[in-house]
Amino acid sequence: MSDIGFTETRERTALRAAVRELANRYGRDYFTAKARAGEKTTEMWAEAGKLGYLGVAVPEEYGGGGGGIGDLAAVCEEFAAAGAPMLLMVVSPAICATVITRFGTEAQKQRWLPGFADGTKKMAFSITEPDAGSNSHRLATSIRRDGEEWVLSGGKYYISGVDECDAVLVVARHVDENGQRLLPSLMIVPTDAPGFTYQPIAMDIVSPEKQFTLFFDDVRLPADALLGSTEAGLAQVFAGLNPERIMAASFSTGIARFAMDKATDYARNRQVWDTPIGAHQGLAHPLAQCAIQIELARLMTQKAAALYDAGLDRESGEAANMAKYAAAEAAATTVDQAIQVHGGNGLASEYGLGALLAASRVGRIAPVSKEMILNYVAQHTLKLPRSY
């Protein structure tokens, strides 16, 4: 691989190869067995952390690799491509580490970044609320001052991985002494804080990571629980969302690559007429279309990451949205087609594709739905009026 703009650097290529070696050592069977047993992929996460893969984007002075979100996205994609995606990579070392690096105090950086770098600390991220959903301007979870402390009230839903995290980064709206609702900001809430409870949501996704409804019943937090400024509003929150979209895109392209490998392997070997089924254009062409979708999505993801790592937040926003949309479509389409290629075997547990159906579908809904991305592109790229 040469360093010519449209390909990744030699360092990134070497990183991918090293991660692939580790991820394949665990692989799909390990992942599915853990998920079905209700267990976590703890050993895989710990080993990835120890080898520095989870911390590639954490600054070197805090124990990380000093790379960019493009490096972290490459790590995320390779685990997913091995059939062992790590959902919390999208959250803890991506959103939370980025926001703390950019807006945290020195004490917050010292407290969290070394643990993110070696994987020994994890932080969930919560913005979605039952009565707000895609409309983050309608957040009702509130934070108010009481002397030196903060008091957090409200709730969230569909928050991933809370049961395995040390803390949750919560987007909450400030309320002043007159009950006036002010701008939203970010609070670091330990998962064992008194008044904070959470319940799992029963999901049909075969994954070790679970989703939760969170309840904040007047949770009292110290002054330093605030991350960044109370004045910055959603702009500060959104700084973590471009990395989230780039990571979500990599998660999806990894899943798509895994399904494509399965499909092509099967199509080359399964024979029910005189030639392998992969020779029939009815199967070969949809797979070729998926391959094109995956490669386009990967290229856009790499572009979004390059823009973000160059400090171009606004330009990266458009590219990250487009990448995330394209990757989610590539994953959903490829998994569906891989199942089709396998005939009845496509839904047999042994082949591991049926279990991917819901997981591959998540990308069209979270962390931002395909409709909200289309709204973004319609309004920001095409300058069309908004309907909401």
Residues interacting with ligand FAD, by CB under 6 A? Answer: 91, 124-128, 133-134, 158-160, 205, 211, 362, 365-369, 371-372, 375, 388
Q: What is the DSSP string of 145-195?
A: EETTEEEEEEEEEEEETGGG-SEEEEEEEEE-TT--EEEEEEEEEETT-TT
Q: What is the Cα–Cα distance from 28 to 134, expressed in whole angstroms?
A: 32
By beta-carbon proximity to ligand FAD, the closer residue of 95 and 113 is 95
Angle separating helix axes 69-81 and 241-269, nearest 10 degrees: 30
Q: What is the Cα–Cα distance from 334 to 224, expressed in whole angstroms?
A: 45
Q: Rounded to the nearest whole angstrom, what is the least distance from the CB of residue 211 to ligand FAD in the complex?
A: 5
By beta-carbon proximity to ligand FAD, the closer residue of 160 and 236 is 160
By beta-carbon proximity to ligand FAD, the closer residue of 128 and 360 is 128
By beta-carbon proximity to ligand FAD, the closer residue of 229 and 379 is 379
Q: Rounded to the nearest whole angstrom, what is the least distance from the CB of residue 86 to ligand FAD in the complex?
A: 13
By beta-carbon proximity to ligand FAD, the closer residue of 16 and 122 is 122
Q: How are beta strands 167-175 and 142-146 bridged, if at all?
A: parallel
Q: Rounded to the nearest whole angstrom, what is the least distance from the CB of residue 161 to ligand FAD in the complex?
A: 7
Q: Is the dihedral of CA 71, 76, 79, 83 positive or negative?
A: negative
Q: Rounded to the nearest whole angstrom, what is the least distance from the CB of residue 231 to ligand FAD in the complex?
A: 22
Q: Rounded to the nearest whole angstrom, what is the least distance from the CB of residue 354 to ligand FAD in the complex?
A: 17
User: Does the bond joining 367 to the residue before it have cis omega, within 30 degrees of 0?
Assistant: yes
Q: Rounded to the nearest whole angstrom, what is the least distance from the CB of residue 159 to ligand FAD in the complex?
A: 5
For ligand FAD, which residue has the nearest CB? Answer: 133
By beta-carbon proximity to ligand FAD, the closer residue of 141 and 264 is 141
Which neighbouring-strand residues pair with 216? 154, 196
Contact predicate 31/41, CB 8 Å: yes
